[in-house]
Each structure stands twice: as C-alpha cells, then as structure tokens.
Amino acid sequence: MEYKNVSAFINRKAETEYMEIWISEEPKNILFFYGPKSSGKTTLIYKFIEKHLTDQKKFSIKHFNLREVLIVNYEDFLQRFFQVEDPDEKSTSQSRHYDLKVFKLTVASHQKIKNKQLDPFDVMKAELIDLNAKGIRPLIIIDELQALDFIYFNSQRELIKELINFFVAMTKESHLCHVLLSSSDGYFIEKLYNDSKLKKTSELFEVDYLPREDIFYWLNNLVKESNIKEYLLSQDQIEYVWEHFGGSIWEISTLLGKFLTVCQDGKVPDDQMRKVIAKYMVQARSYFEEYAGLKKHLQALFAEVHKKSAKGFFKETELGLLVDGGFFTEDKLREELNALVQKNFFYYNPTLAEYKLQGRSMEIGLEMYLQEMEKLRK
Ligand SMILES: Nc1ncnc2c1ncn2[C@@H]1O[C@H](COP(=O)(O)OP(=O)(O)OP(=O)(O)O)[C@@H](O)[C@H]1O
Ligand SMILES: [Mg+2]
C-alpha cells in the first residue's frame, strides 16, 4: 500500500552543490552544519550520501547519529564510535571489513583503551591511514552533536575537546578524511568553538528553513512532492500557511497530514484550515505560558525579546534592561538564553551571535502570549 503525505525533499540545490565541492576537495577543514530545529540537516546529509557516496570502493562513511543513543560517559562514547571485532569473524573479506560505519577495534586494543594504555584516537587514525592507502576516501559524519553536551558539561570536557582537535588534525593537518558535524544547538557549537581548536579550522554552514518560493512550489505540487491527491490548496491558503509557519518544513508536513482529515471534495474548507492552524498557534502560545508561569523574570524576558526581535532577530547585548531592572544577573541571563535554545524556543546563530524565535509559529505564539498577559493585567 502506498503512503500519503510522504516525506518531501524540496530544493536544497545550493546546499548540495556546496557539499559536492567540499567533498571533491582535499580535506582542509571541518564542515559544521548548523540551523534551526528540524530545518532539514539530517535529511540533507542522508540525501547527499544516497546520491554521491554509495560507492564503497571509493568512500568509507563513518556515520554517527547521536540522537539514536544516550552518551553519558566515556564507555558509552567508546561503544558508540568503535566496534570490537569478533575474533570468530576472521574469515570476513577485506571489503566487508570497511563497510563498517564505525571504527573497528580488536579485543586486545579495546582492553588496552580501557586500561588507558592505548589512545582511541590513534586507533582511529590508523584506520584512516589504512583506508587512504587503499585509495578509499573516509568521511566522518557526526549528526546531532549536541547529544554530547551532557558529557561535555558534566564529566568529559577534555574528551570532547580531544575529539574535535583530532578532527582538526585529520582535516587541516593530515588531510586524511572529510569531517562533517551537525547540530541545531548553536550555543553548544559556540562553546566548542571557544574551547577547542575549531576557530579558523572549520567552516560553518547554515542549513536554514526553506525560503518562500520553495514552500510555494511545494504546496502547489502536493501530488508530485508529497503524494497528496486528496486536496489542492488555493493561493490564498498557501499564503496563509506561509504567514503562520514560514519555511518550517516539519511543521508544514504535519499540517498537510491534518488537512487530510478535514478535506472535502478536493479542497480544504477555509474555516477548517483556520481552525487547524489556530490550534497550532494556541499550542505555541501555551509553550510560553507554561514555561514562564508566574515567574516575573521570565515574563520580562519574553516581553523584552518580543520588542527586540521585531527586526527578525535579537542579540544578548540588547537585553541590558533585564539586567538593569534586576531580573537577571549577566550570567543568569546567558544561562537562561542557553536553556531556551536547548528547549527550542530560540535558535542561536553562532556566526552572527544572533537569536531568533524558533520559527514563525513561535513568533505568533509569543505575540499571543503577551497579549494574553496584557489582558490579565487590566
Ligand atoms: N528539503 C526538504 N523538503 C521537504 N521536507 C524536508 C526537507 N528536508 C527535511 N524535510 C523534512 O523535515 C523534517 C525535519 O528534517 P530533519 O530531521 O532532517 O531536520 P534536522 O535539521 O536534522 O532536525 P534536528 O534539528 O532535530 O536535528 C523531516 O520530516 C524531513 O522529512
Ligand atoms: Mg537532525
């Protein structure tokens, strides 16, 4: 049976071209994808691998999606990045050997690493050298890098720094492999940046929400791009969707699914469309309401952010009134902004040091929240 509302893959031409050039050049720096929550970073990586890197005689891809695992200590880290070879599997052919998505480790080396007699990065490097000697290009991809923030901030800061510095050595210094890191937590990226050798050794590349023309193309081509045959949207309706969700593809694809439940005679009635969208906006408003509750300093923060982000973004330095007014100390303000980035209220762009609300729906949610607070005050 065929699915309706299948995952689309709209445009990303510029991003794909950028990656094609990056992979064709000798490794020189770490490529760092960042971008708002659910902007399509992971999908772009998968599509790129699918299209360009499937030839295992040419490429060896070490692909770690850290969202799928919980990493809370050094052991978890090792387990995630290495696979201990089963000695009984000695007969496996050389080619199968390099199909592994992780680094391989003999039982003996694993023990040595555990006893700290062997550096895991030396093992990684040896495999990269080996692959290069065989004419195979290794590529290390770590997606959802923010999953490492727990061990970074709690126990293994040195380890993560070492990992990043290892990648710098493998790219900029020895040119042994391409490294692509990806995260939606710009704040964590910045922390890593400041603490390790990432500055001037990595290239930050933003994978943003889709622009207006892409959303219009998508919503005008629902059969082709999403296998939705049940309804067509009018231009006014498409405009309405754009006004409420901007280029946030994940929210739009969920919305398209909701429209399937209310469409009639090949259309989505306007009143139904508005009702469905209003629910999302109320939900976004509730996020602010629940988070701030009766806490005056958070209410003040949200009000100030709303004022300062009328131009589309805000900067920490524009929130001085919150410190002067005694709502936050400077450190507490930064901590709170960081927490709000992690909780996906805000998106932080580390190259510009700018914050944004996490998408158009959150902007509207914030407006609604503040209006409601105003009403309560009267
Ligand atoms: N170019 C695209 N066109 C249409 N839909 C897309 C596109 N890219 C991604 N999507 C859809 O958007 C959703 C989010 O994509 P994805 O998980 O790749 O984002 P992400 O940036 O990796 O998210 P996160 O910030 O959580 O890591 C998925 O359902 C995916 O199918
Ligand atoms: Mg992702």
Q: What pLDDT shows up at residue 101?
A: 66
Query: Does 138 sit in the ligand 1 pocket, CB within 6 Å?
Result: no
Per the prediction, the chain carries an average pLDDT of 89
| Percent of the chain whose predicted confidence (pLDDT) is above 90 | 65
Report the CATH number of the 13-206 domain.
Answer: 3.40.50.300
Q: How far is the CA of 157 from the centre of ligand 1 (A)?
A: 29
* Residue 85 confidence (pLDDT) above 80: no
197: which DSSP letter?
Answer: T
Q: How far apart, in whole angstroms, are the C-alpha atoms of residue 200 and residue 137?
A: 24
Q: What pLDDT shows up at residue 94?
A: 45
pLDDT in tens, 296-335: 999 999 999 999 999 999 999 999 999 999 999 999 999 9
Query: Does 62 sit in the ligand 1 pocket, CB within 6 Å?
Result: no
Nearest listed ligand to the Cα of residue 184: 1
Q: Residue of the nearest CA to atom 11 in ligand 1?
A: 250
Q: Residue of the nearest CA to atom 31 in ligand 1?
A: 7
* Residue 350 confidence (pLDDT) above 50: yes
Q: Quote the tokens at residue 110.
A: 């694993």
Query: Does 40 sit in the ligand 1 pocket, CB within 6 Å?
Result: yes
Contact call for residues 226 and 256 (beta carbons, < 8 A): yes
Query: Does 186 sit in the ligand 1 pocket, CB within 6 Å?
Result: no
* Residue 16 confidence (pLDDT) above 90: yes
Q: How far apart, in whole angstroms, are the C-alpha atoms of residue 266 and residue 230?
A: 5
175: region left, alpha or beta (phi > 0 left; psi from -120 to 50 alpha): left
Q: Point out the least confidently predicted range of 7-16, 120-129, 187-196.
A: 187-196
CA 272 centroid distance within chain: 32
Residue entry with tokens 């050595």: 169
Strand partners, 142: 64, 181
pTM of the model: 0.90
Residues of the chain with CATH 3.40.50.300: 13-206
Query: Does 254 sit in the ligand 1 pocket, CB within 6 Å?
Result: no
Q: What pLDDT shows up at residue 99?
A: 45
Kindly give the number of the ligand 1 atom that is closest to the alpha carbon of 143: 27
- Kindly report the number of other CB atoms within 10 A of residue 161's CB atom: 16
Strand partners, 63: 141
Query: Does 38 sit in the ligand 1 pocket, CB within 6 Å?
Result: yes
Q: What pLDDT shows up at residue 87?
A: 61
Residues of the chain with CATH 1.10.10.10: 286-377
> Sorting pLDDT into bands at 50, 70 and 90, what band is 176?
very high
Mapped onto helix, strand or coil, the DSSP state of residue 77 is helix
Selection from 297, 277, 265 nearest residue 361 by Cα = 277
Kindly give the number of the ligand 1 atom that is closest to the alpha carbon of 46: 18
Mapped onto helix, strand or coil, the DSSP state of residue 32 is strand
Q: How far apart, in whole angstroms, are the C-alpha atoms of residue 228 and residue 3?
A: 9
Q: How far apart, in whole angstroms, are the C-alpha atoms of residue 365 and residue 280?
A: 9
Whole-angstrom Cα Rg for the chain: 24
Q: How far is the CA of 292 from the centre of ligand 2 (A)?
A: 27
SS3 labels along 303-321:
HHHHHHHHHCCECHHHHHH
pLDDT in tens, 282-293: 999 999 999 999
CATH class of 286-377: mainly alpha
Q: Please give the C-alpha separations between residue 223 and each of 105, 228, 234, in angstroms, as whole numbers.
A: 48, 5, 14
Query: Does 305 sit in the ligand 1 pocket, CB within 6 Å?
Result: no
Name the more confident of 324 and 196.
Answer: 324
* Residue 366 confidence (pLDDT) above 50: yes
CB proximity list for 210: less than 8 A, separation 6 or greater: 10, 11, 40, 218, 247, 249
Selection from 27, 61, 20 nearest residue 170 by Cα = 27
